[in-house]
């Protein structure tokens, strides 16, 4: 009860504790403190967040709208005139810096909050990424989200705030923070980093005890220890050759980092961070984790399973702003991920070729997927069928040719031409009355009396 009353009176929240870096919320079993500041000191975490946010924030970005191409199919066209905020959301920052902050907020805290400033026409004039620790979220009595921001006099609604959560739990109003959810894993990594710093900062590969025959006075022992440390303490002097006289011997007592599995533990910590951010290990600089043949496939999977979902979450929420513009209700923002797959152009070309040959796509549909303008002819809009490579409306010609061949085979075998046509579903046509050319050459038959060649044979 005392703590509940204290929290109510002082308004202490998860966000305020996070911002203060309080050990109550983020102390770890490893004895390290993980918060929004210390997590950036972890090399692997900084590299992972920087890799993802930099890759996505520097992708080409534009706004599109789907329109009817005149044949009942929707095609994607650039939306023009394009609002200024698409290319420069924050008037005081570059587009890359703005989206880098968005993705950083999503990756670490699990949420991105973007304050929307508008003019009297309700058009966007500026977008500012907020510190997620200064924003609290709750639902109103009508189930709508309401945002309370430090420094804002009144709560904000979704009209004034773009809320982009990463991973949401059922019934929650905020996304899951990686810093909080994985604090023990990050804390272990931070503990290993600090242990390594202590080891190389204060240790020596010759650390141990000096055995000296006989007794030494306190001053002599201090002089011996001080002289030895002055020559070998610290990583700069760790490999200097030691010389002892008077029968003194040195016995090392320090453990070998490799034998103590400290190096392997730090490697595993980096792999844990790679798993936490869904990054292929070879992109985190871990050697021996991939063969040359698998790197390209792993990069494609990284784009499809990690970068694309993150980009799509931002696209979906930012696209809601387009409804404020005339004709922009169905417009949408799109990051162009094709640049990340540019090395796989051959595979895409082969796939398109197979789809074209199978009649599953038309030339204009393929060009639309590559953001190329349509050819503008009916032929380019029509899918083609295999083998004959003709328009679908004419594809029955191939089937009719096959039926004609079957009728021909039946006539050669002695069947009635009329009955053979009927059996194959072909319309009746006049017959010359001539026997099959296999039985009698046309050059030997009189056109005036074709049956004369058979008179002598009939008994």
Query: Which two three-digit tokens encode residue 414?
Result: 């002695």
Taking the CB of residue 397, how many other CB atoms lie within 10 A of it? 11
Q: Which of 66-70, 257-261, 277-281, 364-368 has the lowest mean pLDDT?
A: 257-261
Q: Looking at 42-46, 383-387, 442-446, 455-459, which range is the least confident one?
A: 455-459
Assess contact for 116 and 161: CB atoms under 8 A.
yes
Place of tokens 């993705």: 103
161 Cβ partners below 8 Å, 6+ apart?
Answer: 113, 114, 115, 116, 147
Say what the pLDDT of residue 17 is.
35
- Interval 205-244: pLDDT, tens: 555 676 767 777 787 778 777 877 777 666 566 666 666 6
CA distance 170 to 155: 24
Q: Which residue has the higher pLDDT, 170 or 350?
A: 170
* DSSP-derived secondary structure letter, 328: -
> Which among 201, 223, 198, 197 has a CA at the least distance from the CA of 210?
223
| Of 318 and 353, the one with more pLDDT | 318
Burial class of residue 282, CB neighbours in 10 A (0-12, 13-18, 19+):
middle
Sequence length of the chain is: 459
245: confidence class by pLDDT, cuts 50, 70, 90:
low
Average pLDDT over residues 439-455: 61
pLDDT tens per residue across span 259-301: 445 667 677 878 888 889 999 888 887 766 565 556 777 788 8
Mean pLDDT for the stretch of residues 85-108: 96
User: What mean pLDDT do residues 177-193 have?
Assistant: 81
Query: What pTM, to 2 d.p., does this model score?
Result: 0.63
Identify the pLDDT of residue 130: 97
Q: At 109, phi and psi to the nearest 5?
A: -90, -15
The pLDDT of 11-40, averaged and rounded, is 56
- Average model confidence (pLDDT) for the chain? 78
State the CB neighbour count (10 A cutoff) for residue 265: 15
Ranked by mean pLDDT, the top range of 135-139, 180-184, 325-329, 354-358 is: 135-139
Tokens of 318: 């930012």
> What values do phi and psi take at 444, rounded to 5?
-95, 5
Provide mean pLDDT across the span 368-372.
75
Q: How large is the average pLDDT for residues 62-66?
A: 92
| Predicted local confidence at residue 119, as pLDDT | 93
pLDDT in tens, 144-179: 999 999 999 999 999 999 999 999 999 999 999 998
CA distance 56 to 96: 9
Task: State pLDDT tens for residues 116-149.
Answer: 999 999 999 999 999 999 999 999 999 999 999 9
Distance CA 107, CA 178 (A): 7
**Tens digits of per-residue pLDDT, 374-413?**
887 877 877 776 655 556 556 666 677 778 888 888 877 7
Give the whole-angstrom CA distance, residue 26 versus residue 21. 7
Q: Taking the domains of the chain in order of start, what are their residue ranges?
A: 13-203+261-335, 205-253, 338-394, 396-457
Higher pLDDT, 275 or 97: 97
Q: What percentage of the chain exceeds 70 in pLDDT? A: 70
């Amino acid at each position: 009860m005392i703590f509940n009353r204290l929290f109510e009176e002082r308004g202490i929240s998860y966000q305020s504790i996070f911002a203060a870096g309080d050990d109550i919320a983020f102390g770890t079993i490893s004895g390290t403190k993980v918060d929004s500041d210390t997590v950036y000191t972890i090399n692997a975490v900084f590299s992972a967040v920087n890799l993802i946010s930099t890759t996505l924030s520097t992708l080409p970005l534009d706004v599109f709208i789907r329109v009817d191409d005149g044949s009942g199919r929707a095609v994607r066209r650039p939306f023009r005139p394009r609002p200024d905020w698409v290319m420069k959301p924050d008037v005081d920052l570059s587009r890359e810096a703005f989206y880098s902050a968005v993705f950083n907020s999503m990756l670490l805290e699990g949420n991105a909050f973007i304050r929307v400033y508008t003019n009297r026409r309700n058009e966007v004039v500026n977008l500012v990424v907020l510190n997620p620790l200064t924003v609290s979220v709750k639902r109103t009595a009508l189930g709508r989200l309401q945002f309370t921001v430090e420094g804002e006099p009144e709560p904000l609604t979704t009209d004034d705030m773009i809320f982009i959560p990463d991973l949401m739990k059922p019934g929650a109003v905020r996304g899951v923070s990686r810093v909080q959810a994985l604090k023990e894993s990050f804390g272990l990594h931070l503990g290993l980093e600090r242990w390594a710093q202590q080891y190389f900062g204060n240790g020596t590969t010759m650390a141990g005890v000096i055995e000296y025959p006989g007794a030494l006075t306190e001053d002599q022992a201090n002089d011996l220890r001080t002289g030895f440390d002055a020559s070998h303490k610290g990583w700069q002097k760790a490999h200097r050759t030691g010389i002892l006289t008077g029968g003194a011997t040195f016995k090392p007592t320090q453990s070998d980092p490799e034998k103590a599995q400290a190096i392997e533990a730090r490697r595993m910590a980096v792999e844990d961070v790679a798993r936490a951010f869904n990054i292929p290990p070879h992109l985190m600089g871990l050697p021996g984790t991939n063969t040359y043949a698998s790197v390209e496939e792993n990069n494609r999977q990284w784009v499809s399973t990690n970068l694309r979902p993150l980009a799509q979450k931002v696209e979906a929420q930012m696209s809601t702003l387009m409804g404020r513009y005339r004709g922009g209700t169905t417009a949408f923002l799109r990051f162009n991920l094709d640049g990340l797959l540019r090395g796989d152009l051959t595979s895409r070309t082969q796939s398109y070729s197979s789809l074209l040959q199978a009649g599953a796509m038309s030339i204009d549909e393929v060009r639309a997927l590559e953001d190329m303008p349509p050819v503008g002819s009916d032929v380019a809009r029509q899918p083609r069928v295999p083998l004959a490579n003709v328009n679908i409306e004419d594809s029955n010609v191939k089937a009719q040719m096959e039926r004609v061949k079957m009728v021909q085979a039946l006539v050669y075998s002695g069947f009635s031409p009329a009955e053979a046509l009927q059996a194959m579903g072909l319309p009746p046509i006049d017959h010359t009355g001539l026997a099959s050319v296999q039985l009698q050459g046309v050059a030997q038959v009189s056109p005036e009396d074709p049956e004369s060649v058979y008179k002598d044979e009939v008994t």
